[in-house]
Amino acid sequence: MEIKGLKQNLSDAGCPDGLAKDIIRMCEAGNTEGALHLMKKDRCRLIEEMHESGRKVDRMDFLIRSTEKEIKRQAIK
């Protein structure tokens, strides 16, 4: 894999700088299996961040629905 392209893709994927450097070093040294392991590990981190964001969106949706119901309830009075 081309190192310049790898650097850009890791950056675009939100890979922390230190981890990206480790992955690049491994690739340069021919340790592609080690680099792959680190990329998969970081993918798990990204998935967890996505799930956490989803939980936050769900909570905000709940608050919005609750507030809308309260406004409707007050309008009926």
pLDDT one-digit tens code per residue, 8-67: 999 999 999 999 999 999 999 999 999 999 999 999 999 999 999 999 999 999 999 999
Alpha helices in the chain (DSSP H): 3-12, 17-28, 32-76
Domain count, the chain: 1
Q: Whole domain around residue 14: which residue ranges?
A: 3-76
Q: What is the pTM of this model?
A: 0.80
Tell me, what's the pLDDT at 50?
97
**Both tokens of residue 26?**
């491994």
Q: Which residue carries 């967890």 as its tokens?
A: 48
CA distance 20 to 42: 10
Tell me, what's the pLDDT at 77?
75
